[in-house]
Amino acid sequence: MSGTTAFWYASRATGIVALLLLTAVLVLGILVNRQGRLPGLPRFAVTSLHRNLSLLAVAFIAMHVFTAVLDTYVSIPLISGVVPFASGYERLWLGLGAISLDMMIAMIVTSLLRGRMNRILWRAIHLLAYLSWPVAFAHSIGSSKDLQQGWMLDMAVGCALILVAAIVWRLAHAARQVPRAGRVAAVFAQHSAATSGATTSRATSSANASKQTRRTRETVKR
């Protein structure tokens, strides 16, 4: 196997692994609830898992870019890995790959600086970073003929179906939950019902006590 061929295979392999890791990162982010937890895992474990998967995905994307640049079959400038549409070869598809990488970098950097950032700004950047998956998916399908047929196409479709299933699950889970305003109203209703019940019970007890007192007095008079 020549050096050029090795770089070609390495570029394809790291690209496929990067797509799988990006899918795992996005699905994990979708499945996590508002408290940042997954069933059976504490919050710090979920946070660490999500961050480590993201870092690993970026590492494989970086290797994917470097091996593609080192492959002399076509000329791809290194800067095109981070600057969209800077390559003359497959300008659109490689540009989408650069956009996806930039989004992932933004998500990781802002996650590391979360404690020092405005919460609204951090959340906006973090949500926008989730667009990196469909952009990376389009880049993968458009730039690689391997992913357009055979078992690799099945794998890519499987990633998409898993993502759709995670989104459907999250939407169904959110629909089953009572909105915050509804939860507050329910708590007040329960409190009012309990207070009303306690007041009625006290009033009944007081009336019964008064009746018993009157009977006692009448008995004494007799």
Burial class (CB in 10 A: 0-12, 13-18, 19+), 68: buried
In this prediction, residue 91 carries a pLDDT of 85
Cβ contacts of 60 within 8 Å, gap of 6 or more: 14, 15, 17, 18, 21
Question: Do residue 143 and residue 111 come from a single domain?
Answer: yes
Question: Do residue 149 and residue 39 come from a single domain?
Answer: yes
In this prediction, residue 196 carries a pLDDT of 53
Question: Do residue 58 and residue 75 come from a single domain?
Answer: yes
Question: Do residue 142 and residue 153 come from a single domain?
Answer: yes
The tokens describing 124, both together, are: 């906006």
Provide the whole-model pTM.
0.70
In this prediction, residue 211 carries a pLDDT of 54
Question: Do residue 45 and residue 23 come from a single domain?
Answer: yes
Question: Do residue 142 and residue 212 come from a single domain?
Answer: no
Nearest to residue 18, comparing CAs of 48, 50, 61?
61
Residue 161 domain boundaries: 3-176
Task: Provide the CB-side half-sphere exposure for 13 (13 A, CA).
Answer: 7
The tokens describing 100, both together, are: 């996806």
Give residue 81's region: left, alpha or beta (phi > 0; psi -120 to 50).
alpha
Question: Do residue 163 and residue 183 come from a single domain?
Answer: no
Do 76 and 87 meet the contact criterion of CB atoms below 8 Å apart?
A: yes
Helix (H, G, I), strand (E, B) or coil at 209: helix
Strands (E) across 4-161 are located at none
Do 136 and 22 meet the contact criterion of CB atoms below 8 Å apart?
A: yes
Question: Do residue 104 and residue 38 come from a single domain?
Answer: yes
Cα–Cα distance for residue pair 35/3, rounded to 1 Å: 49
Query: How does pLDDT run across 169-192, given as a tens digit for each residue?
Result: 888 877 776 555 555 555 556 655
Question: Do residue 151 and residue 197 come from a single domain?
Answer: no
Question: Do residue 80 and residue 139 come from a single domain?
Answer: yes
**Which residue ranges in the chain fall short of pLDDT 50?**
198, 203, 220
Cα–Cα distance for residue pair 14/11, rounded to 1 Å: 5
Question: Do residue 167 and residue 184 come from a single domain?
Answer: no
Question: Do residue 101 and residue 191 come from a single domain?
Answer: no
Count of structural domains, the chain: 2
Looking at 176, 197, 212, the residue that finishes a domain is 176
Cα–Cα distance for residue pair 20/31, rounded to 1 Å: 16
In this prediction, residue 117 carries a pLDDT of 81
